[in-house]
Structure 1
């Protein structure tokens, strides 16, 4: 009996230790291990600008998902974004952080009270140092505009108020960022002569080079960007125009682009940033990381760990651990004591003679 109780305790302690190890790895260590695959881009000159791109975080709201586990899903998705952004920021040490739209999942339909709560969550998750410049681009989930959705002036206005929306953003007199809004077919129309001495960077939530149309013609004519960055598709791609080549970029490597050479070849470059959230149904998610110096662009993606795999492993381990515990408990259970029946021998009467 004593040996069975000892085995029961050992198995229980082993299951607890294994569970704690799994949780520690999935919630803490995996983010550090994931960094081993990231490629660092080192500055070679003083005029170096490091840019971190965050695309489509789409913080989950409270309107569409009303299931019993919705609060757990929101907290887990928020924690994943916070952890990955902290690691990406510490790894890149950016001068500028560009948020490429769809910051909120329900920004275009949220009531004022819910919208204020979503904004607070966003700022708590994506917290950066004071000396880091931040640029926010509106997406269709922030102000509307996808599939013919109505775009109200109030949605645009509250986004501009909360995220300090500016059409032009200059950095260190070397870079000029242009915000392009394909939902309303609008972009800043600057004085082109004053832009020629800067590297011109177009920022759009929706891709431009593959869309064509008057907006693209206006952007190429008036802005004449050296490079454009977009999002929306939740994928990692590189577009070249007018060749219309689309390259799926899912490698852990650094791509190098000579922006002057592209200009001389009359070729336009657009880089699509993948989603940063695991809730978008894509197998891979991450952050874009770019370094600009002397008209050279170095770009890579900081791929994140797949949170869904961790959650599936949690479920599998919970089933396995519970099954093991029940089986061991049944094997070590004390047997019922069965009283022995003492059978008295029957003696037949011996006839007397």
Structure 2
């Protein structure tokens, strides 16, 4: 009897240990391990830390074959990455750069509100922290469909900005480049540390509608393409745009900003694994008034890369297949041994 119990523990215990390890690695340890690789930001002078959330595109209720499971898994991935990003980077401001919902235009009011409830559960804002929300084309339309004024009003009625700690230091505006681009002021400081424009659609990227709406800015933050990059626009001739791609081995980007410096645009990748790209992450931005009597302002930017969810799902499938084969193999070996003894 004791030998039989030990044998069962051996047969089923190994798969149980493998599955337990895979679950812990996929849902916790991989985020912790990867967060230790994230570039550090230096505290050069007085700095404001901003976490940028781009294109989370919470899965909706109309276009998903495995809706309930897909929503649960995607929401969990977004929430886990966000919690680790806040834990490691310690931001005082979170900026959401649009496409918060995947079916913002298509959903009915009940589906929209249910998605909103999921969103605020995934992305809680701590008391006292600043939060800014702008809309994207999946939220209100504009890229391949008409802009829905009712959805625009609903979006800004529910997503309210809190900028109490920023309004005296920054001039922050938003624009929507899928229509006649104008600046909508979010904060307007009398003597701003920096003039920042938020746009869902990239401003300095060829192929998108753009105007001179952002020319007087110091810094532009954008999203939309699900990829990341840094654009530097030379304000004097030949007015070239220099592009730098950001990867998982890129160091923290440092650059002074101001009217006598190039115009900088930081494009943040999607944080959702459902957007058809291999690399996902959150943007980490520090804006620092340097220790030169605060005459100079410097930005530091990096991407807090997330683990590949598809690799994690493949690991789940592999561990299940291994467990099944292990149990079948061990039982067949046991059956053959007993047959030989008889």
TM-score, normalising length: structure 2 = 0.88
The gaps in structure 2 that reach 5 residues or longer are 234-238, 290-296
Give the structure 2 partner of residue 107 of structure 1: 104
Aligned 1:44-59 pairs, distance under 5 A: 44-45=44-45, 47-59=46-58
Give the structure 2 partner of residue 144 of structure 1: 141
Give the structure 1 partner of residue 293 of structure 2: none
Q: What's the CA shift string for 1:330-349, capped at 9, x where partnerless?
A: 1212756999xxxxxxxxxx
Q: For 1:269, which of 261, 264, 273 is the aligned residue?
A: 264
Q: What's the CA shift string for 1:212-237, capped at 9, x where partnerless?
A: 788421332xxx10010100001110
Q: For 1:326, which of 311, 328, 335 is the aligned residue?
A: 328
Q: What's the CA shift string for 1:292-350, capped at 9, x where partnerless?
A: 122111111111111110100111121121012112111212756999xxxxxxxxxxx
SS state of the match for residue 296, structure 1?
strand
Give the structure 1 partner of residue 90 of structure 2: 93
Please tell me the root mean square deviation across aligned C-alpha atoms, in Å.
Answer: 2.6
Distance 1:213 1:275 in 2: 18
SS state of the match for residue 211, structure 2?
helix
Change (3 A) 1:338 1:247: closer
Give the structure 1 partner of residue 17 of structure 2: 17
Distance 1:203 1:184 in 2: 15
Aligned 1:17-166 pairs, distance under 5 A: 17-45=17-45, 47-65=46-64, 67=65, 69-147=66-144, 149-164=145-160
CA offset at residue 10 of structure 1?
1.0
Give the structure 2 partner of residue 345 of structure 1: none
Distance 1:253 1:271 in 2: 15
Q: Is the 8 A contact 1:187 1:219 kept in 2?
A: no
Give the structure 2 partner of residue 247 of structure 1: 244
Distance 1:187 1:95 in 2: 28
Distance 1:307 1:189 in 2: 37
TM-score, normalising length: structure 1 = 0.85
Aligned 1:175-214 pairs, distance under 5 A: 175-188=170-183, 197-211=192-206
Q: What's the CA shift string for 1:160-193, capped at 9, x where partnerless?
A: 1111269x99815221111111122332267xx9
CA offset at residue 42 of structure 1?
3.5
Change (3 A) 1:235 1:212: closer
Q: Is the 8 A contact 2:171 2:192 kept in 1?
A: no
The gaps in structure 1 that reach 5 residues or longer are 340-353
Change (3 A) 1:291 1:163: same
Give the structure 1 partner of residue 221 of structure 2: 229
CA offset at residue 91 of structure 1?
1.5
Consecutive aligned runs of 4 or more in structure 1 exceeding 3 Å deviation: 1-9, 193-198, 211-215, 334-339
Q: What's the CA shift string for 1:27-80, capped at 9, x where partnerless?
A: 1211111111012214233x3211110000000011011x2x321111011011
SS state of the match for residue 208, structure 1?
coil
Distance 2:172 2:254 in 1: 20
Change (3 A) 1:118 1:95: same
Q: Is the 8 A contact 1:289 1:300 kept in 2?
A: yes
CA offset at residue 278 of structure 1?
1.0
Give the structure 1 partner of residue 256 of structure 2: 258
For the pair shown, the structure with the greater C-alpha radius of gyration is: 1
